[in-house]
A and B are shown apart, each in its own frame.
Chain A
Amino acid sequence: DIQMTQSPSSLSASVGDRVTITCRASQGINNYLAWFQQKPGKAPKSLIYSASSLQSGVPSRFSGSGSGTDFTLTISSLQPEDFATYYCQQYNSYPLTFGGGTKVEIK
């Protein structure tokens, strides 16, 4: 199985901050990577697919980059509604696997 490692596991940030979350795959996954946002008690919401393509309706302050084994999710200016847990997921090979999550908290 491909292991997906996210860092950090949690971070504290203020509204307006630039936030970067990293996801590393244990082997190359091309650009077959998705990012999700999950708020407490809610289902994950798709943000990004193919490493850098924004899902329809997702604010442009979210961006993704990377290819191969190293990927990043960037929030250019953190908004109050962005405090949540973020997950990456690879879909290069089976079984599909998720990262352990990064919790973004209010500083």
Chain B
Amino acid sequence: QVQLQESGPGLVKPSETLSLTCSVSGGSISGDYWSWIRQPPGKGLEWIGYIFYTGSTNYNPSLRSRATFSVDTSNNQFSLKLRSVTAADTAVYYCARGGNYLEHDSWGQGTLVTVSS
């Protein structure tokens, strides 16, 4: 059974870049879509976008082109960079496997990122 684990700084200063990595174990990153999803404290879920194992991407326009994904198939990892963060980007960030149709069948435990000076 595939397992996902997010890692990265828990505190980022306003205007800086948030960087997270998702490590995949128990299965190969190849052949699947991999999403980033976030959840502000006490609020609902927002899809940030996905990266396919080949490197093709799809981003949510709401992020206004601030997000960039990358994939490292040799290390079974994929990453998120979110530029020019503000307090509104404070959230629990999840990585998830897309599944056959982007129905998100497996999720990481999530990591809280706080944007504050």
Chain B neighbourhood of A83, CB < 8 A: none
The reply to whether B110 and A43 contact each other, CB–CB distance below 8 Å, is yes
The reply to whether B105 and A94 contact each other, CB–CB distance below 8 Å, is no
The reply to whether B107 and A43 contact each other, CB–CB distance below 8 Å, is yes
The reply to whether A43 and B101 contact each other, CB–CB distance below 8 Å, is no
| A49/B105 contact (C-beta < 8 A), A96-B47, A97-B47, A101-B44 known | yes
The reply to whether B103 and A95 contact each other, CB–CB distance below 8 Å, is no
> Count the A-B residue pairs with Cβ separation under 8 angstroms: how many?
58
Identify whether the interface residues of A are mostly helix, strand, loop, or mixed.
Answer: loop
Chain B neighbourhood of A55, CB < 8 A: 105
A23 to chain B minimum Cβ distance, whole angstroms, is 13
Q: Is B7 an interface residue (CB 8 A)?
A: no
| A89/B103 contact (C-beta < 8 A), A43-B94, A94-B58 known | yes
A88 to chain B minimum Cβ distance, whole angstroms, is 10
Complex-state Cα separation, A16 to B102, whole angstroms: 33
Chain B neighbourhood of A98, CB < 8 A: 44-47
Q: Is A69 an interface residue (CB 8 A)?
A: no
The reply to whether B45 and A44 contact each other, CB–CB distance below 8 Å, is yes
Complex-state Cα separation, A96 to B49, whole angstroms: 8
Residues B41-88 near A (CB distance < 8 A) = 44-47, 49, 58, 60-62
The 3 closest A-B pairs by CB, nearest first: A49-B103, A43-B107, A95-B60
| Interchain Cβ contacts under 8 Å between A and B, 24 examples | A34-B103, A36-B104, A42-B109, A43-B94, A43-B107, A43-B110, A44-B45, A46-B99, A46-B103, A49-B103, A50-B101, A55-B105, A87-B45, A89-B45, A89-B103, A89-B104, A95-B47, A95-B61, A96-B102, A98-B46, A99-B44, A100-B44, A101-B44, A101-B45
20 more contacts with CB within 8 A, not counting A34-B103, A95-B60, A97-B47, are: A36-B104, A43-B107, A43-B108, A43-B109, A43-B110, A45-B107, A46-B99, A46-B103, A49-B103, A50-B103, A87-B44, A89-B45, A89-B47, A89-B103, A91-B102, A91-B103, A94-B58, A98-B46, A99-B44, A101-B45
